């Protein structure tokens, strides 16, 4: 049998396919940048979903070190996603206007993968049309969220998470829970414990998503101002409404409940 041809860099990465995926619809110089930035977003979203699946599995296995490593990777990816906006913001409003009309009904708010990320992180309220047309989104909404997996992790490490919370309908929106917040206060009381580090790593992920929303909002505002977004979306107004909606509200709420610890002056 003949030897297999040697693997090449371009062959392994399928660069011929990858680099043929950019097809600007106009002669505007900046349209290629717009296309590449958004395609790279989708690649990173794919990786986030890949990592989130591992994160949930490691949480439910009680694997502190593994969960911490994976959550930190997701947070780093989100930093990279936010950093891409620095490049996109080099495009002026006039440069964007040169090709905006060809976008037609397309809009970044139609990103199926970002909707799925939101669902994995706990969002349950989606338009009926999104759920009807997207089997992956329907599946993500029906299964436990990352926060549900965290609660399983805490239970496995001996923290008394209320039974009714563990057995709740995972397809229902999460409501901040005083019993869970009491457990989280106990977790944070021992900052040297792995559980506290894991919780903080999820706060980093949550903050990363909120940072992306903020930077995306400012990018939209500086590019199209108060205009309606492409595809008829509410543009900056939509982002503004969702800006301060954390994925894990209980992890933020316990900060206002933490008592100050006096410093021992020796």
pLDDT per residue as tens digits for the range 204-243: 999 999 999 899 888 888 877 655 555 444 546 666 777 7
What's the whole-model pTM score? 0.90
pLDDT of residue 81: 95
pLDDT of residue 251: 97
Give the total residue count for the chain: 266
* Tokens of residue 122, six digits: 């706990």
> 168-203: per-residue pLDDT in tens?
999 999 999 999 999 999 999 998 899 999 999 999
> 135-144: per-residue pLDDT in tens?
999 999 999 9
CA torsion through residues 9, 114, 80, 34, sign: positive
Q: Residue 106 above 70 pLDDT?
A: no
pLDDT of residue 232: 44
Cβ within 8 Å of residue 90, ≥6 positions away: none
What φ, ψ does residue 97 adopt, rounded to 5°? Answer: -60, -25
pLDDT of residue 266: 45
pLDDT of residue 231: 46
CA distance 213 to 247: 12
Average pLDDT, the chain: 89
* Tokens of residue 84, six digits: 């891409």
pLDDT of residue 219: 85
pLDDT band (50, 70, 90) for residue 116? very high
pLDDT: which is higher, 145 or 239: 145
Q: Residue 29 above 60 pLDDT?
A: yes
């Amino acid at each position: 049998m003949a030897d297999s041809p040697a693997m090449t860099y371009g062959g392994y990465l399928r660069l011929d396919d990858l680099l043929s995926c950019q097809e600007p619809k106009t002669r505007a110089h900046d349209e290629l940048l717009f296309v590449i930035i958004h395609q790279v977003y989708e690649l990173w979203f794919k990786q986030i979903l890949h990592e989130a699946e591992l994160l949930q599995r490691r949480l439910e296995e009680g694997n502190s070190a593994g969960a911490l490593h994976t959550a930190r990777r997701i947070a780093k990816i989100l930093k990279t996603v936010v950093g891409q906006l620095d490049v996109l913001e080099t495009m002026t409003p006039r440069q964007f206007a040169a090709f905006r009309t060809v976008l037609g009904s397309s809009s970044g708010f139609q990103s199926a993968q970002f909707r799925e990320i939101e669902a994995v992180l706990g969002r349950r309220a989606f338009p009926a049309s999104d759920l009807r047309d997207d089997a992956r989104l329907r599946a993500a909404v029906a299964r436990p969220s990352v926060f549900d997996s965290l609660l399983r992790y805490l239970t496995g490490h001996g923290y008394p998470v209320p039974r009714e919370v563990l057995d709740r309908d995972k397809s229902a929106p999460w409501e901040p829970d005083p019993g869970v917040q009491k457990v989280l206060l106990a977790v944070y009381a021992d900052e040297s414990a792995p559980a506290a580090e894991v919780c903080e790593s999820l706060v980093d992920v949550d903050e990363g998503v909120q940072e992306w929303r903020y930077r995306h909002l400012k990018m939209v505002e500086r590019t199209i101002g108060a205009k309606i977004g492409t595809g008829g979306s509410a543009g900056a107004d939509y982002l503004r409404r969702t800006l301060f909606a954390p994925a894990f509200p209980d992890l933020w709420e316990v900060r206002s409940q933490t008592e100050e610890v006096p410093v021992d002056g020796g």
